[in-house]
Amino acid sequence: MDYKSYQEYSDVQGALDIRKENVIEILQLFVLISNVQKLTFMKYDFKYNNFTYGFTIDGYNIIQDDINFINNKYSIILKDGDVIFGKITFNRRIWYRAVLKELLKKSKIALRKIFEIEKDLLSQNTPLNIFIITDKNTIKFANKLQTNLDILLNADISVIHDIRKVLDKLNQKNSKNIIIYTVQKSDLIRDDEELLSTFNEFVIVIGPNDHNLSLTCGKLNIENYVSIDEFSPENIKNIILETKHKLINKNKFDNKIISITGVSGGIGVTTISLNTADLIAKNNPNKNVLYVDLSTTKAISNLFLSQNPIPNYTIIDLVNFGDFNIEKNLEIGLVKVRENFYSINGIQKHIDKDLIEKDNFIEKLLDYLLKASESFNYIIIDTGKADASSMKSTIYDLVNEIWVLTEMTLPHVSKLKTFYSLMKRAGLKDKVTFIVNRVNSLNEISSSDLDSIMNTSSKEDKLKYLKIPNDYHTLGKCWNYCELASDVSKDSIFVKTIREILLEKEFIEREKSKSKVKKKSMFSFLNKEEN
């Protein structure tokens, strides 16, 4: 499904506003013909399964905040089949004439249009597949669930008996998948145990109030076991909507997405992220590199990459634009550093932190990054201080690697232990690379002390970590002048160490003969246009 441009989004919102005005006009006519003094429209809230105040019509006047008529004695439910749109309430009985029936019919048509538009906007046009896996004992229940979810969600919903039949769909890149098992016993789940352990899809199990079955799901890292006693379609819908932004499309290319984070502020995350991205780009002229400033404090990467102290656009403008297009994105937050090196400006105001933590923004950010991964071979994301916020947790799920920076001091290692525990519980342990920055600083603890604090005494459990020496002589000067060490101090200890880390991870290769012809970047056409 195509991404909506800002103009397309505005057009849809405009259509939604027109439909709402249409409903108001129809109900105004209903009030005049029926001779009721006031009519209140209550919108049905699918999420909470109740009616919420919409507006009150008093003659030709529209009252948006008058809730005195919510408990009116008389009401008419407005619905189409199984879909409830809302209800109208009034304080006296009316004569239900043919003309009023026709007006109610027209109001339902307009409300149906609003329902479809809002459902489309809610989905953010991200393809969502829901696979209901069932056996012969729960087939009727599964079919009813499919019908209900089809009403409540904008998704492609199917009922199947064998998950292996949809493996091709599960492996598609540009889709998000939810698997729902409807079971009476654990046999169906146990048969798929090996497959489920390899999935990163979101799995829900609906079954009897069985403690052993719940434990079986827990062992498979299935977080949502719903007892049939607590089941309702709205409950399942709530689980899906609250978790939808966390669903990750697999990055099935050889491209790398790396998150660099630190156990505290000021530990060197931005410095290492910037220089890492720059070195990868310089050593891979035939590869495209994107640096994303996703720190939640005022960003400073723009000072180093574009010498722009106050950028006009930031990651918020770029992501909300919603369309991955290099030329258009260069006008609203994407910066071209070099032919194969691009960056995205981070937030510039503290109040913007709240915006990037909203679920709607997180989902659009993921869609943008996944689309960008088709064009960029490396995406380096500076996520600033490590925490378990919704936005950062989602990024940690998305990336191929998580570099966690620390220092060998007691306060930093204590924070590292807490964060590492979160990573293990989230199943992200294998993604983590520990990097000790500013090695040989004062007040540094020993490696044995580190193992003791982290409770990794056995040989198998001991943490492996890379080290970056304390090179303040180089970095202090670079920081003062907003320069990259990889540009001005190529032979410094810091740059050489970063290079060795990238060599070890095979992100760059040993220098080859300079006579070898370099391949052009896939974005080279932009360079030609500029010249």
3-state secondary structure (DSSP) of residue 445: coil
In 3D space, the residue among 394, 390, 395, 456 whose CA is nearest the CA of residue 421 turns out to be 456
d(CA 142, CA 160): 9
Distance between CA atoms of 262 and 264, rounded to whole angstroms? 5
Give the per-residue pLDDT at 209: 84
Distance between CA atoms of 60 and 131, rounded to whole angstroms?
48
Alpha-carbon distance of 501 to 467, in angstroms, equals 9
Which residue in this structure is represented by tokens 């925490």? 387
CB 387 within 8 A of CB 238: no
Looking at domain 6-123, does it have CATH number 2.40.160? Answer: no
Distance of CA 183 to the CA centre of its chain: 30
Single-letter code of the amino acid located at 37: Q
Same CATH fold, 256-530 and 128-246? Answer: yes
Residue 384 is predicted with a pLDDT of 92
Contact between 468 and 439 (Cβ < 8 Å): yes
pLDDT value for 120: 61
User: What is the structure's pLDDT at 84?
Assistant: 85
Break the chain into its structural domains and give their ranges: 6-123, 128-246, 256-530
**CB under 8 Å to 423, separation ≥6 — which residues?**
396, 402, 429, 431, 432
CB neighbour burial string for 129-157, b if at least 16 within 10 angstroms, e if fewer: bbbbbbbeebeebbeebbebbebbbbbeb
pLDDT given for residue 250 in this prediction:
44
Question: 254: Cβ–Cβ under 8 A, 6 or more apart, which residues?
Answer: 377
Whether the CB-CB separation of 69 and 41 falls below 8 Å is answered with no
* CATH code matching the domain that covers 256-530, chosen among 3.10.690.10, 3.40.50.300, 3.40.50.9100, 3.40.50.150: 3.40.50.300
Do 368 and 319 meet the contact criterion of CB atoms below 8 Å apart? yes
The pLDDT value given to residue 59: 73
What confidence score (pLDDT) does residue 525 get? 43
Phi and psi at 85, nearest 5°, equal -95, -35
DSSP string, 367-399: HHHHHHTTT-SEEEEEEEE----HHHHHHHHH-
What three-state secondary structure class fits 262?
strand
pLDDT of the chain, 531 residues: tens digit per residue: 333 444 454 566 677 888 888 999 999 999 888 888 788 998 887 655 578 888 998 877 888 776 565 567 788 999 887 678 999 998 788 887 888 989 999 999 999 888 877 766 554 445 678 899 998 889 999 999 998 888 877 778 999 999 888 887 776 655 678 889 998 888 888 888 877 766 656 788 898 888 778 777 776 767 688 888 878 888 888 787 766 555 544 444 457 999 999 999 889 999 999 999 999 999 998 889 999 999 888 889 999 998 888 898 999 999 988 778 888 899 898 999 988 999 999 998 878 888 888 888 888 898 899 888 888 999 999 999 998 888 898 899 889 899 999 998 888 888 888 888 888 877 788 889 999 999 877 777 877 777 777 765 555 456 678 999 999 889 999 999 999 999 999 999 999 999 999 999 999 987 754 444 444 555 544 544 443
Query: What CATH architecture does domain 128-246 belong to?
Result: 3-Layer(aba) Sandwich (3.40)
Tokens encoding 516: 């070898």
> In Å, how far are 42, 45, 225 from 63, measured between CA atoms?
13, 20, 44
Q: Within 10 A of 426 (CB to CB), how many other CB atoms are there?
A: 14
How much is the pLDDT for 516?
A: 45
Q: How does pLDDT run across 22-55, given as a tens digit for each residue?
A: 999 999 999 888 888 788 998 887 655 578 888 9
Instruction: State residue 23's pLDDT score.
Output: 92
